[in-house]
Amino acid sequence: MITRTDRAPLIPPSRWVGYLLAFALIVAAPLVLGTPYWRGILVVCAMNVLLALSLNLVLGYTGQLNLGQSAFFAIGAYVSVILVRSHGWNFWLAMVAASAAAGMAGLLLAAFAVRLRGHYLGIASLGFAVITYQVLVNWEGVTEGVRGIYGIMPPPPIKLPGLPEISFGNSLALFWLVGGIAFAVYWMLDNLVRSPVGETLRALREDEVSAASLGINAARWKAFAFGLASTIAGLAGCFYPGFVGTLVPDAFNIVESFTMLAMVIVGGMGSMIGPVIGAVVLTFLPELLRSAGELRLMIYGIALTLVVLFMPGGILQLVQIVRARLSRRAGAGASR
Amino acid sequence: MNDLATLLVQQSINGVYLGCLYVMVALGLTLIYGVMNQINFAHADFVTVGAFTAFFVATRFATKVLGLGDAAAYLVSIFVALGAGAVLGLLVNALVFAPLRERGDELRPLIATIGISVLLENGQLALFGPIPFQFDSPFAKETIRFGRIFFTGQSVLVVVVSMLAIGALYAFMKFTFTGKALRAVSQDRETAGLMGINPDFLIGLTIVIASAMAGMAGALIGPVLVLTPFAGATVIVKAFAIVIIGGFGNIEGTILAGILVGIIEAFTVQYLGSGLIDLVVFVLLLVMLVVRPTGLIAERREENV
């Protein structure tokens, strides 16, 4: 029997430093970027981090091409808003229900993933997103169709005994809420991918037949990955309408799925921190290019293509190359 | 002829007309997929570029500079659009697909073409602005009548031109040596290379042919579309569905599926309303994937299902 004593400790201290830094960054970011505009971008950024993390679980760790992640984001957003507005639910309860609904939809897509591979699954998931979008447009009795739903309230304030009321009407508290959730999800997934479950998913990614010969039930674990990933995307969706105030189907166009895909690839697929970097960069890049006016999205498109062409491992690869070079230089200095 | 039969015939004609346009777009996707297992997401924007090229050639250059009549100008513009598509294909192959090919990765070229798509859409937005252009085909005014069935000269032109293009492509793939070499590359690139076939050249050629067809489709479809920089996107999603329904990389299947989707679309508009077209097509796609994932015409390819 193999014992764990010969391995590194379960959680090395360097990871705790990383967690603490990330936590400090989430606390400090909206205080440094003090204007409401930039705080709003931060909220969007936190949602994008959640979406990129969710897609990465399916794409990066389980190796399933999913071009329809926007569908689950949409389901989370619409279900939470409809439950609160039309059925008078409490927001937090509706949030749980909406995430679960997105998760169930994810299981439905997983049923296709059991039979299809590669681009076939990609187009099936794209079709799934198109159908979701069309249902939002056409089911006017429930979703209001292209007219959209207006005047959506942010999450209700939280009253804790002995503390001032926390209101989510301003983007500062909302960012801390969504950023905190993104932090928690990251923590959970980080532990998950290091666990035997993570190794199971990676085994599926590398070779499904070999994995099956080791007794891994591919259908069950794909369902797990899709279910969990779409629950997270649905959770991100719950905060979107309250932040923007309106809800229209166009916010969940299939192009949104491609943006999420780009975040995962540009950051570095199949690592935990890569998609986070990708989400942050691709959220802020278009904003920083705002002075370029009409050329802004052209530059964005060129940048996306160039990153893929010259940095196949994403931005994370660049970081690793720089770090390797620095350490080599440090090593050379020490030996002298 | 009674009313129902007239309606059925009329809608079938409309369906075949639409179907021909879809086949032109979808064939390019399926060709590219066949030879190199890649999806080109910018394919839709090649259609848009083709449509804009045709628009400016037909309404400005050919009529004002060359002094051609409206009909001749439109016919010239179809060929110029074809050329524009071919040039785009050449560029995308040289800049994106060729450098990424050797790495044997299916995701990164996909993302790179999404980048190209964003670039082309926003480049055209900067050039032409967001206001839709009115692209009138001179053939759309002529109505041809058989009893109670109507169709426009434009639909006849579309069907004839696309049938010719599709037929030429089919004959090229089936009967010429280059076509045979191309099919060899799509079956097994390495073995084809060992037989003295230059796969890089043939893959490049395929992309150029596929893109030229997209450009040409743009010229034909332009008068039907609301011509904005994002017009191609409405067609491409359906083209993806057609490619899957027909079986990825399968030319006969794609032609059949394209016509079928066109007819289904025409009847959906008639009986359910135009808002439900995408819904019907994609539900069909998902059903198809469950029932017959190899596509309408099954090929001896097993790794995808």
**Helix A171-194 crosses helix A36-56 at what angle (to 10 degrees)?**
20
DSSP, res A195: S
Which element (helix H / strand E) includes A272?
none
Q: Is A130 domain-assigned?
A: yes
Judging contacts by C-beta atoms under 8 Å, the chain A residues touching residue B122 are 294-298, 300-301
B256 in Cβ contact with B264 (< 8 Å): no
For chain A, the maximum distance between any two Cα atoms, rounded to a whole number of angstroms, is: 76
Nearest-CA distance from A245 to chain B in Å? Answer: 26
Name the residue with tokens 């032609």: B255
- Find residues 13-32 of chain A whose CB sits inside 8 Å of chain B: none
Q: Is A300 domain-assigned?
A: no
Model pLDDT, residue A106:
92
Model pLDDT, residue A10:
57
Locate the DSSP E strands across chain B.
Answer: 143-146, 149-152
Q: Is B285 domain-assigned?
A: yes
The pLDDT tens digits for A244-255 are 888 888 888 877
Nearest-CA distance from A128 to chain B in Å? Answer: 8
Q: Is B18 domain-assigned?
A: yes
Model pLDDT, residue A333:
55
A153 in Cβ contact with A94 (< 8 Å): no
Q: Is A295 domain-assigned?
A: no
Model pLDDT, residue A100:
94
- Find residues 35-94 of chain B whose CB sits inside 8 Å of chain A: 37, 39, 41
| DSSP reduced 3-state for B82 | helix
Give the closest of B41, B121, B282 to A130, CB-based. Answer: B282
Model pLDDT, residue B299:
54
Structural domain of B54: 3-291
Interface test with B, best of A121, A134, A263 (most B CBs within 10 A): A134
Give the closest of B103, B279, B293 to A131, CB-based. Answer: B279
A166 in Cβ contact with A157 (< 8 Å): yes
Percent of chain A with pLDDT over 70: 94
**Mean pLDDT along residues A298-325:** 81
Judging contacts by C-beta atoms under 8 Å, the chain A residues touching residue B115 are 262, 301-306, 308
B119 in Cβ contact with A301 (< 8 Å): yes
The answer to whether the Cβ–Cβ distance between A138 and B99 falls below 8 Å is no
| DSSP reduced 3-state for B150 | strand
Q: Is A218 domain-assigned?
A: yes
The pLDDT tens digits for B53-70 are 988 888 877 777 776 777
Count of domains observed in chain A: 1
Judging contacts by C-beta atoms under 8 Å, the chain A residues touching residue B233 are 255
Six-digit token string for B274 = 């135009």
Q: Is B302 domain-assigned?
A: no
Q: How far apart are CA A95 and CA A75, in angstroms?
A: 11
Q: How far apart are CA B45 and CA B60, in angstroms?
A: 22
Question: Domain of B142: which CATH number?
Answer: 1.10.3470
CA atoms within 13 A on the CB side of B8: 5
Q: What is the ipTM of this complex?
A: 0.78
Model pLDDT, residue B147:
74
The answer to whether the Cβ–Cβ distance between A131 and B248 falls below 8 Å is no
Structural domain of A94: 17-253
Q: How far apart are CA B105 and CA A270, in angstroms?
A: 14
Judging contacts by C-beta atoms under 8 Å, the chain B residues touching residue A133 are 278
The answer to whether the Cβ–Cβ distance between B248 and A120 falls below 8 Å is yes
B265 in Cβ contact with B214 (< 8 Å): no
The pLDDT tens digits for A76-129 are 999 999 998 888 888 889 999 999 999 999 998 888 888 877 778 888 888 888
Model pLDDT, residue B181:
86
Interface test with A, best of B100, B105, B107 (most A CBs within 10 A): B107
Interface residue B123 vs chain A (CB under 8 A): yes
Count of domains observed in chain B: 1
Q: How far apart are CA B6 and CA A319, in angstroms?
A: 67
Q: Is A281 domain-assigned?
A: no
Q: Which residue has the higher pLDDT, A194 or B64?
A: A194
Report, as ranges of residue numbers, the positions in chain B whose pLDDT lies below 70: 1, 67, 103-104, 293-305
Tell me, rounded to whole angstroms, the distance of Cα A149 from its chain centroid. 24
Judging contacts by C-beta atoms under 8 Å, the chain B residues touching residue A296 are 122
Q: Is A325 domain-assigned?
A: no
Q: How far apart are CA B98 and CA A145, in angstroms?
A: 43
DSSP, res B248: T
Name the residue with tokens 């390797």: A324
Model pLDDT, residue A71:
93
